[in-house]
């Protein structure tokens, strides 16, 4: 008899809960999506609502966007500050009556891609999720690395321009100001090409305009692809992975940037063209890999 499991990915803007069969985690049985509310009490209520909607007896895994310590508590989260230092496991277990496990959302995504996705059988992997910010997960020699505090793999706040725009973390010029969905929209809203609609550009419009062949939108995607390649090259210079996986919300439109990113990556990383084994691939589970990986936590 297979076991039902629930994985919940709590993002900066949305909560995605999936009901899965542990023997076939790549084919969710049911899902529930809710907007992420603004206070910790409301977030806890939203998680409880999503899990109850899925109505299954199994354990619950939770992926959180930020620095999750070994006790499962978020200790830093520029894109979800209301949850920092908030104990989630105890109130959720009390309300739901099942065991709750917690890890970083992108580390969850990495586990999912290694278990049933594009990173299956690959030992040296770096995964980045492109959403509100940029999350990350790192595996070396087939082992997921969590670091000294559990905080490893937060590439979104790598500094790429000290004079760049202010980041939600309080510093300037972090990678996620350029290569996340938020960064994409920011660059368009600050571009002279979009002066008529400044402040009103959305990622949906940039996708639609690019698909329609609009030169201004295509130029923004090209710039975005270059910034993405810059950061991936930095990661490859340190870790020399065999596989770089792109996950998160923007993976659904990877055809708009992936080829350019692959080509720029070869020029950006030291000895790029000698890195013959390094591939850049979209997450096989798409934007659901974080929730799938959370369901695999135990
Ligand atoms: Zn930052």
Percentage of residues of the chain with pLDDT beyond 70 = 100
Q: Are 280 and 244 in contact (CB under 8 A)?
A: yes
| Rounded distance from Cα 72 to ligand 1 centre (Å) | 22
pLDDT tier at 24 (50, 70, 90 boundaries)? confident
| Rounded distance from Cα 136 to ligand 1 centre (Å) | 14
Question: What pLDDT is attached to residue 259?
Answer: 97
- In angstroms, rounded to a whole number, what is the distance separating the alpha carbons of residues 151 and 219? 35
Closest by CA to 106, choosing from 291, 296, 297, is: 291
Tokens 């939203």 belong to which residue?
Answer: 46
| Rounded distance from Cα 6 to ligand 1 centre (Å) | 31
Cα dihedral across residues 211, 215, 218, 220: positive or negative: negative
| Rounded distance from Cα 78 to ligand 1 centre (Å) | 7
pLDDT tier at 27 (50, 70, 90 boundaries)? confident
Question: What pLDDT is attached to residue 159?
Answer: 96
Question: What pLDDT is attached to residue 1?
Answer: 56
| Rounded distance from Cα 202 to ligand 1 centre (Å) | 21
| Rounded distance from Cα 129 to ligand 1 centre (Å) | 15
| Rounded distance from Cα 68 to ligand 1 centre (Å) | 17
List, as one string, the DSSP characters of 151-206: ----GGG-BS-TTSPBPTTSSB-BTHHHHSHHHHHHHHHTSGGGGGGTT---HHHH
Q: Token pair of 9, please?
A: 């990915």
Q: Are 137 and 107 in contact (CB under 8 A)?
A: yes
Residues 6+ apart with CB under 8 A from 243: 118, 119, 122, 124, 125, 126, 278, 279, 280, 281
| Rounded distance from Cα 225 to ligand 1 centre (Å) | 19
| Rounded distance from Cα 273 to ligand 1 centre (Å) | 30
């Amino acid at each position: 008899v297979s076991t039902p499991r629930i994985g919940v990915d709590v993002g900066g803007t949305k909560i995605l809960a999936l009901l899965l069969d542990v023997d076939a985690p790549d084919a969710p049985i049911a899902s529930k999506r809710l907007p992420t509310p603004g206070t910790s009490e409301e977030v806890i209520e939203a998680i409880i609502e999503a899990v109850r909607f899925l109505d299954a007896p199994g354990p619950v895994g939770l992926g959180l966007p930020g620095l999750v310590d070994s006790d499962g508590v978020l200790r830093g989260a520029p894109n979800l500050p209301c949850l920092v230092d908030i104990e989630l496991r105890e109130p959720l277990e009390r309300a739901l009556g099942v065991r709750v496990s917690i890890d970083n959302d992108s580390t969850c995504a990495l586990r999912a891609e290694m278990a049933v996705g594009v990173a299956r059988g690959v030992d040296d992997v770096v995964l980045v999720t492109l959403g509100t910010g940029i999350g990350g997960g790192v595996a070396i020699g087939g082992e997921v690395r969590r670091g000294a505090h559990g905080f490893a793999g937060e590439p979104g706040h790598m500094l790429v321009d000290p004079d760049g725009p202010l980041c939600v973390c309080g510093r300037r010029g972090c990678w996620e100001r350029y290569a996340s969905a938020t960064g994409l929209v920011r660059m368009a809203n600050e571009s002279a090409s979009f002066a008529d609609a400044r402040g009103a550009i959305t990622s949906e419009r940039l996708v639609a305009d690019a698909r329609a062949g609009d030169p201004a939108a295509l130029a923004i995607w090209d710039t975005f692809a270059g910034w993405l390649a810059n950061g991936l090259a930095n990661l490859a210079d340190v870790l020399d992975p065999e596989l770089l996986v792109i996950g998160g919300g923007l993976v659904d439109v990877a055809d708009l940037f992936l080829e350019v990113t692959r080509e720029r990556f070869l020029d950006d990383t030291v000895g790029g063209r000698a890195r013959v084994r390094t591939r850049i691939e979209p997450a096989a589970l798409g934007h659901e890999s974080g929730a799938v990986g959370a369901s695999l936590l135990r």
